[in-house]
Structure 1
Amino acid sequence: MISAKHKLLLGVAMASLLIACSPADTPAAGGRPAPAVKVSTLATEVVQKRVQALGTLLAQESIDISSNVTEKITALHFDDGDSVTKGQLLVTLQQDEEAAQLSSARADLAEQERELARLEGLLASQSAAQTEYDQRQTAKLRAQSKIAEIQALLAERTIRAPFSGVIGLRQLSPGALVSPGTSITTLDDLSVMRLDFQLPSLSIKAIAPGQRIVAHSDALNDDFDATISAVASRVNPIDRSITARALIKNPDQKLKPGMLMLVSITTSEYDAIMAPESALQSVQLQHYLWIMNADQKAERRQVELGIRKPGFVEIRSGVSVGEQLIYEGFASLQAGSTVAPQEG
């Protein structure tokens, strides 16, 4: 039989064993170590609110070179892709008949001037009538008008560049018969490009002449600075959009008419808390973040989201600057669980 003294010693030993194994002294509830998580301190950063639109590039000046008359091409004074200056000769059309008429008109003018000189001497000696002198003066004016008329016909058969720019691909060859409206080639001023784009009329307050915007070209994989030069005075009644025009300097002529550009317009800037999208827990329309408090306990907070940018989302409410965000290792956490923060 066990004596009373032995029973007392056995009871003390069992009590000591229970105290040693109590949950209060374990690393986490249930005897498991605290889960390792990665945390970061929430801070604000500058966020830009933007609207985007697609636009099409146009040359600052752009025309099809064509003729005003039906005539045969005698010479082309350019090569494909040439840079030309304003007034440079581009195309010569057949003009033999007009050249002959001009020579005849100039001879007639010279004759009238000789007769006027002769009559002036006769008038001085009163050997000629004033009416005869006046008739010759009128004939001289008619000869001068005829010369101007023929020179205008010659100008129609001599095509010059109306502005400086770059010649496109020629469509006709010397000897071809050209008629009004037939394109011989194109001419574009590429020094500055026009970018036309449409925005919903609800964004009309976001654009104004002189505003700086950014235009991106996927074809060139590059961004270009642009300045809005004008906003249309009317809203399209069909789709309720408004057209704006921006100018882009193009000194190296990388941009070409017809290219598609993605326009990005900054409408406002403000400070906001941005959190990694991977840190979000979403249940239907509810969104949550896990926060580690000062006692290294996990808290689940419902948050309100704002704008997004690649990999991050704005947190408008639910957390504060300076709190510790658990961005990794929160999948199996429970509210109030003790966590072990690790260096990221």
Structure 2
Amino acid sequence: MLSACGGSAQGPSRGPAAPGAVPVTTTVVESRQWNDTLAALGTVNARESVTITAKVSETVQRVHFESGDRVAAGDVLVTLSGNQQQATLRAAEAAAREAEQQYVRGNELVGQQLIARASIDTLRANRESARAQVAEMRANIGDRTIRAPFAGVLGLRQVSPGALVTPGTAIATLDDIASVYVDFPLPEVRLASIAPGQRVFGRSAAYPGADIEGEVQIVDSRIDPDTRAVTVRAKFANPQMRLRPGMLIQVRLEQQQRQALMIPEIAVIQVGRDTFVYRVLEDETVEQTPVTIGVRREGLAEIVNGLEPGTRIVVDGTGKLRPGMTIVEGTVQEAKSQPVDEGEAAGGAAP
């Protein structure tokens, strides 16, 4: 006697086995809930990502972070030398104070009619110019304090105190990976079955056996004319920071549930272009029944055509059978009408 796939129930008593009967395992085909999936390979992208650089050419005075630090938006990362700019700022502030005083005196003299009213316009212009000089110098000094534009995790530190940096010099990378995006392509023929909010499962080679659940965020508005594929973006929560930008992810996009006739894949026999199963007749003999197979996944196969619910078929022991042979079964497995998850699918595939 052979053991059935997955859970099993003792088959009904059918009397003494006929001489020469072949021991097999059978199952009764029934309709069940099934989720189709679309598989693809995707790449992880951070929600926000930037390479920190300097805006000016200057020497690094102090580095305020270490590689891998988590920082908040606005935290100071690097301070550049700015002694010359500080001196220039003090001179500009002094000139601004003098221009302000000249403007105030001018207003008093105009009120006493001691100077022409046109002179006050010149004094006002001098005051505004001095204020602009102060603002410009403060902006130059601000460019020498490099801050984090958003909260995230810093990558490897690329500079040290005393190093000369120029515009475009990489200081470190900054990524917000509290949640990440995974972009993956799907054929354009599947476009009608993709929508925001659908569940997506991802798996990385770095963490085998661990599925991460996300959802479709957006479907690209364009189709690649070369590959005829559309890019889908899924969002994944990443509280443990396992997913890193650039990682390759195996993606499974789950479709809506539907009714399907699913049987263990080991019951399907392929001979050349012919696909069939062994159907059990009332007299405990078998016959070959041609079938059309739909999806296959996790040890299960969908029967599109050829079988009806309630049909009894041979699951294990098909290698010994020929049409017309008599069988005797050991343990009968009956397929139940219930939602199928990956655990059930994997369990049903193992004899």
- Tell me the TM-score normalised to structure 2 length: 0.83
Instruction: Report if the CA contact (8 A) 2:109-2:115 is conserved.
Output: yes
Match of 2:339 in 1: none
The one of 297, 301, 321 equivalent to 2:309 is 321
Query: Is 1:149 aligned to 2:136, yes or no?
Result: yes
Alpha-carbon separation, structure 2, partners of 1:37 and 1:270: 31
Query: Is 1:230 aligned to 2:218, yes or no?
Result: yes
Instruction: Report if the CA contact (8 A) 2:17-2:328 is conserved.
Output: no
Instruction: Report if the CA contact (8 A) 1:197-1:243 is conserved.
Output: yes
| More deviation, 321-330/162-171 | 321-330
Query: Is 1:136 aligned to 2:123, yes or no?
Result: yes
Match for 2:237: what amino acid? K
| More deviation, 217-226/328-337 | 328-337
Instruction: Report if the CA contact (8 A) 2:198-2:255 is conserved.
Output: no
Q: In structure 2, the residue corresponding to 1:232 is in which secondary structure?
A: strand
| More deviation, 131-140/86-95 | 131-140
The one of 189, 202, 216 equivalent to 1:202 is 189
Instruction: Report if the CA contact (8 A) 2:268-2:277 is conserved.
Output: yes
Structure with the higher fraction of residues in helix conformation: 1
Q: RMSD between aligned alpha carbons?
A: 2.1
Task: Provide closer, same or farther for how the CA distance between residues 277 and 68 of structure 1 changes in structure 2, counting only shifts above 3 A.
Answer: same
Give 1:158 deviation, angstroms: 1.5
The one of 261, 264, 268 equivalent to 1:280 is 268
Match of 1:342 in 2: 330
Q: In structure 1, the residue corresponding to 2:223 is in which secondary structure?
A: coil
Larger RCO: 1 or 2 (CA < 8 Å, sep 6+): 2
* Structure 2: gaps of 5 or more residues: 1-15, 333-351
Q: Kindly name which structure, 1 or 2, has the bigger radius of gyration based on alpha carbons.
A: 1
Alpha-carbon separation, structure 1, partners of 2:265 and 2:246: 37
Give 1:268 deviation, angstroms: 4.4
The within-5 A match list for 1:90-239 is 90-221=77-208, 222-239=210-227
- Tell me the TM-score normalised to structure 1 length: 0.84
Percent identity, aligned pairs only, is 36
The one of 43, 56, 61 equivalent to 1:74 is 61
The one of 288, 295, 313 equivalent to 1:307 is 295
Match of 1:21 in 2: none
Give 1:143 deviation, angstroms: 0.7
Deviations 1:63-113 (A, max 9, x none): 111111111111111111111111221111111111111101111111222
Alpha-carbon separation, structure 2, partners of 1:247 and 1:329: 46
Alpha-carbon separation, structure 2, partners of 1:168 and 1:183: 11
Deviations 1:98-148 (A, max 9, x none): 111110111111122223333333334334443343332221111101101
Give 1:247 deviation, angstroms: 1.7
Task: Provide closer, same or farther for how the CA distance between residues 138 and 240 of structure 1 changes in structure 2, counting only shifts above 3 A.
Answer: same
* Structure 1: gaps of 5 or more residues: 1-25
Instruction: Report if the CA contact (8 A) 2:20-2:326 is conserved.
Output: no
Give 1:317 deviation, angstroms: 2.4
Instruction: Report if the CA contact (8 A) 2:279-2:287 is conserved.
Output: yes
Alpha-carbon separation, structure 2, partners of 1:183 and 1:27: 80
Q: In structure 1, the residue corresponding to 2:170 is in which secondary structure?
A: coil
Task: Provide closer, same or farther for how the CA distance between residues 254 and 111 of structure 1 changes in structure 2, counting only shifts above 3 A.
Answer: same
For these two proteins, the number of residue pairs brought into alignment is 316
Task: Provide closer, same or farther for how the CA distance between residues 36 and 223 of structure 1 changes in structure 2, counting only shifts above 3 A.
Answer: closer
Alpha-carbon separation, structure 1, partners of 2:219 and 2:17: 67
Deviations 1:35-67 (A, max 9, x none): 333222222222222221111111111111111
Deviations 1:4-44 (A, max 9, x none): xxxxxxxxxxxxxxxxxxxxxx974xxx3433332222222
Match of 2:340 in 1: none
